[in-house]
Structure formats: C-alpha cells, structure tokens
Amino acid sequence: MSPLSVALVYAGIPLLIILVLFLGVYGRSLTRQNARYRPGRPWNHAPVWYVPHPEALPNPAPARAQIEGATSTTTATGGASGEW
C-alpha cells in the first residue's frame, strides 16, 4: 500500500464522515440569517393580540383599542444579554 492510500483511509474517511455530520447539524443555519428576538433588544414590530378563540370574548373592542394604542416607555435593556 502506498502512503497516499493509507492517509486517505485513516485520515480522509474520518474527515469526510465528520464533514457530513457537521453539515447535517449546522448546514441550514449557515445559509440563513438569524432573525430571533433577543431579550433586552428593542421590539420593532407592531403589537399582536393573540386570542385562540376570539368569538369567546364578550366584547374585545376595548381591550384591542388599549393594546393597539399602547406606547412603550420602558428604558431598561436588561435580560439574558446583560445590557443593563
């Protein structure tokens, strides 16, 4: 056996297996941009009022108007990121 074939068997095949496993685990996250909300960061989206069964509410209009008209006056940016 030549040294090249020995190197391919003992180094090439394990590296190929590691590469396939790495791409299987991290492949999708390498191509997509992270769009997660991080605690302590500002929320730049409109408020969403989630009710699984809105027909069960007797009169949702006052609560909806209060939520949609709310303004955030929070100045603290704490959370898990530690930006106090």
Distances (CA, A) of 47 to 23, 67, 68, 69: 37, 7, 7, 9
pTM of the entire structure? 0.41
Q: Under the phi-then-psi rule, with left for phi > 0, alpha for psi from -120 to 50, and beta for the rest, what region is 82?
A: left
Show Cβ contacts of residue 82 under 8 Å, excluding neighbours closer than 6 positions: 40
Q: What is the pLDDT tens value at each position of the chain, 84 positions in all? A: 898 899 889 999 999 999 999 999 988 888 877 677 778 888 787 777 676 776 676 776 666 666 666 666 666 566 666 555
